[in-house]
């Protein structure tokens, strides 16, 4: 079994007497991860099973009755509920049981959508729960051989006690084409396009239809394809509305739906600059380049991507930064652009308030010209920003300008 970076953290936190809630997009490996950590006698309730789901929906007391029937012992009984978003009332039942005896059961809840929970005003057990998030593979889980020491300040280090079995190494072209969903990474290359096509055509449709989240399915499909094509760009709700024929409020609702299902995220515009002509509209990125390519109607293959790799490479770097910030649990991701053309691809704000500007270039030979915006940004933010980075395809770190270093994507 391959090693997931979050496994040791999840395992350690599961020892604490709290309810554990794990969110993440479909096919990111949530169930596999949790089941690898469960004791042999754990009670597993899988609400993706139609029969199981209907029993709990038709009888709200079903879950509580099952838990109360478990004999008491001097050890907590682990109860794992998969796809919990399908029966939101389980959260209230868990709270009731937990508040009455926090040591009798250890509850682990797993879900792939927060939309239904949020719309129903579901109780996510504040003060009683640890919230976890699992993402597609991060670079340390599928490392690329590199002779360089890591100097980027947002690195993810493996715990020393972990015995590593990383996923197979891929060239950057494959990562851009196929993304980093575990099931895609471990599949035969000939099967990867079909898996990605089924993800956007079947999994998304199944989940959205099952939760009655969209009334106009045809309109949503038009939106999804355009959202995938525009992934990584600054949002233009009016243009998307005009092309798809759906209203601007509905376009905004659809973007929120993608975020609630953990298959996309907003990157806010940086607003802490003294510049007066900053753009304020966010960007939106799909959570995985392979899913993005398939949803955009492109054949996921290195040959297709290499026709214009730069924009997808920029998205890949942004997705990697977003995933790492999600695992670390603090810090924020921004971009910056002014009306006169000054732009920084990504700005990472760390927990201590320091800023790390990042430019992404599809080049093996970065130049001082590639660093000019970083140099200006560092000069304008001297108190918060000490160093900037160009992420590219250079073989080893290169000092491009004062306080600007170019690094390979392998060294992120």
Asked if residue 330 is part of any domain, the answer here is yes
Asked if residue 325 is part of any domain, the answer here is yes
pLDDT the model gives residue 28:
95
Residue 59 belongs to domain with CATH number? 3.40.50.300
Asked if residue 2 is part of any domain, the answer here is no
pLDDT the model gives residue 238:
96
Per-residue pLDDT tens digits of the chain, which is 412 residues long: 788 999 988 999 999 989 999 999 999 999 999 999 999 999 999 999 999 999 999 999 999 999 999 999 889 999 999 999 889 899 999 999 999 999 999 999 999 887 766 655 455 677 788 999 999 999 999 988 766 777 899 888 776 656 667 788 899 999 999 999 999 999 999 999 999 999 888 777 777 776 566 778 888 889 999 999 999 999 999 999 999 999 999 999 999 989 988 999 999 999 887 767 888 899 999 999 999 999 999 989 999 999 999 999 999 999 999 999 999 988 999 999 998 889 999 999 999 999 999 999 999 999 999 999 999 999 999 999 999 999 999 999 999 999 999 999 999 9
Contact 96, 64 (CB under 8 A): yes
Number of neighbours of residue 318 by Cβ within 10 angstroms: 22
If asked whether residues 111 and 225 sit together in one domain, one would say no
pLDDT the model gives residue 296:
94
If asked whether residues 20 and 70 sit together in one domain, one would say yes
Asked if residue 323 is part of any domain, the answer here is yes
C-alpha distances in Å from residue 412, one per residue of 140, 146, 365, 407: 9, 10, 17, 8
Q: Which of 67, 100, 133 is the last residue of a domain?
A: 133
The model carries a pTM of: 0.94
Per-residue pLDDT tens over the stretch 347-394: 999 999 999 999 999 999 999 999 999 999 999 999 999 999 999 999
Asked if residue 1 is part of any domain, the answer here is no
Q: How many domains does the chain have?
A: 2
If asked whether residues 336 and 305 sit together in one domain, one would say yes
Contact 253, 321 (CB under 8 A): no
> Rounded CA gap, 411 and 155, in Å?
9
Q: Which of 114, 133, 152 is the last residue of a domain?
A: 133
pLDDT the model gives residue 202:
79
If asked whether residues 152 and 66 sit together in one domain, one would say no
If asked whether residues 407 and 282 sit together in one domain, one would say yes
If asked whether residues 119 and 147 sit together in one domain, one would say no
pLDDT the model gives residue 379:
94
Asked if residue 112 is part of any domain, the answer here is yes
If asked whether residues 176 and 303 sit together in one domain, one would say yes
- Print the SS3 string covering the chain: CCCCCCHHHHHHHHCCCCEEEEECCCCCCHHHHHHHHCCCCCEEEECCCHHHHHHHHHCCCHHHHHHHCCCCCCCCEEEEEECHHHCCHHHHHHHHHHHHCCCCEEEEEEECCCHHHHHCCCCCCCCCEEEEECCCCCHHHCCCCCCCCCCCCCCCCCCCCCCCCCCCCCCHHHHHHHCCCHHHHCCCHHHHHHHHHHHHHHHHHHHHHHCCCCCCHHHHHHHHHHHHHCCCCECCHHHHHHHHCCCHHHHHHHHHHHHHCCCEEEEEECCCCCCCCECCCCEEEECCHHHHHHHCCCCCCHHHHCCCHHHHHHHHHHHHHHHHHHHHCCCEEEEEEECCCCEEEEEEECCCCCEEEEEECCCCCCCHHHHHHHHHHHHHCCCCCCCEEEEECCCCCEEEECCEEEEEHHHC
If asked whether residues 172 and 317 sit together in one domain, one would say yes
If asked whether residues 274 and 301 sit together in one domain, one would say yes
Asked if residue 315 is part of any domain, the answer here is yes
If asked whether residues 283 and 373 sit together in one domain, one would say yes
> Rounded CA gap, 25 and 113, in Å?
7
Full domain range(s) for residue 120: 7-133
pLDDT the model gives residue 41:
94
Collect all residues with Cβ–Cβ distance below 8 Å to 32 and sequence separation of at least 6: 182
pLDDT the model gives residue 67:
96
> Rounded CA gap, 233 and 255, in Å?
13
Instruction: Annotate 322-348 with b (16+ C-beta within 10 A) or e (fewer).
Output: bbbbbbeeebebbbbbeeeebebbbbb
Asked if residue 327 is part of any domain, the answer here is yes
pLDDT the model gives residue 206:
73
If asked whether residues 209 and 144 sit together in one domain, one would say yes
pLDDT the model gives residue 118:
65
Question: How are beta strands 398-401 and 404-408 bridged, if at all?
Answer: antiparallel
If asked whether residues 62 and 179 sit together in one domain, one would say no
pLDDT the model gives residue 119:
58
pLDDT the model gives residue 272:
82
């Amino acid at each position: 079994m391959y090693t997931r970076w979050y496994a040791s953290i999840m395992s350690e936190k599961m020892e604490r007497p709290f309810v554990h809630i794990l969110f993440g997009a479909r096919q990111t490996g949530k169930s596999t991860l949790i089941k690898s950590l469960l004791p042999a006698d754990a009670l597993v309730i899988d609400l993706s099973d139609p029969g199981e789901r209907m029993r709990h929906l038709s009888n709200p007391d079903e879950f509580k009755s099952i838990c109360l029937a478990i004999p008491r012992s001097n050890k907590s009984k682990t109860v794992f509920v998969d796809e919990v978003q399908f029966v939101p009332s389980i959260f209230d039942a868990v709270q009731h049981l937990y508040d009455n005896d926090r040591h009798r059961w250890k509850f682990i809840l797993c879900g792939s959508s927060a939309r239904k929970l949020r719309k129903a005003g579901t109780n996510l057990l504040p003060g009683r729960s640890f919230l976890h998030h699992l993402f597609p593979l991060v670079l340390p889980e599928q490392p690329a051989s590199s002779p360089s020491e890591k100097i980027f300040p947002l690195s993810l280090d493996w715990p020393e006690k972990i015995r590593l079995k990383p996923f197979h190494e891929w060239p950057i072209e494959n990562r851009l084409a196929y993304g980093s969903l575990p099931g895609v990474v471990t599949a035969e290359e000939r099967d990867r396009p079909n898996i990605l096509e089924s993800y956007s055509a079947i999994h998304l449709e199944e989940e959205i239809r099952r939760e009655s989240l969209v009334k106009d399915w045809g309109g949503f499909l038009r939106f999804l394809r355009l959202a995938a094509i525009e992934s990584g760009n600054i949002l233009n709700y009016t243009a998307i509305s005009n092309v798809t024929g759906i209203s601007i409020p509905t376009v905004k609702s659809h973007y929120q739906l993608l975020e609630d299902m953990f298959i996309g995220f907003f990157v806010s515009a940086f607003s802490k600059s003294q510049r007066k002509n900053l753009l304020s509209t966010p960007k939106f990125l799909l959570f995985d380049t392979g899913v993005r390519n398939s949803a955009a109607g492109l054949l996921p293959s290195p040959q297709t991507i290499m026709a214009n790799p730069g924009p997808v490479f920029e998205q890949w770097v942004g997705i990697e930064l977003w995933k790492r910030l999600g695992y670390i649990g603090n810090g924020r991701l921004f971009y910056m652009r002014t009306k006169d053309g000054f732009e920084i691809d990504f700005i990472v704000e760390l927990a201590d308030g320091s800023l790390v500007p990042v430019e992404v270039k599809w080049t093996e030979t970065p130049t001082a010209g590639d660093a000019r915006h970083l140099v200006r940004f560092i000069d304008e933010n001297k108190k918060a920003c000490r160093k900037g980075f160009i992420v590219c395809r250079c073989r080893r770190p290169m000092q491009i300008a004062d306080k600007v270093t170019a690094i390979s994507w392998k060294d992120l």
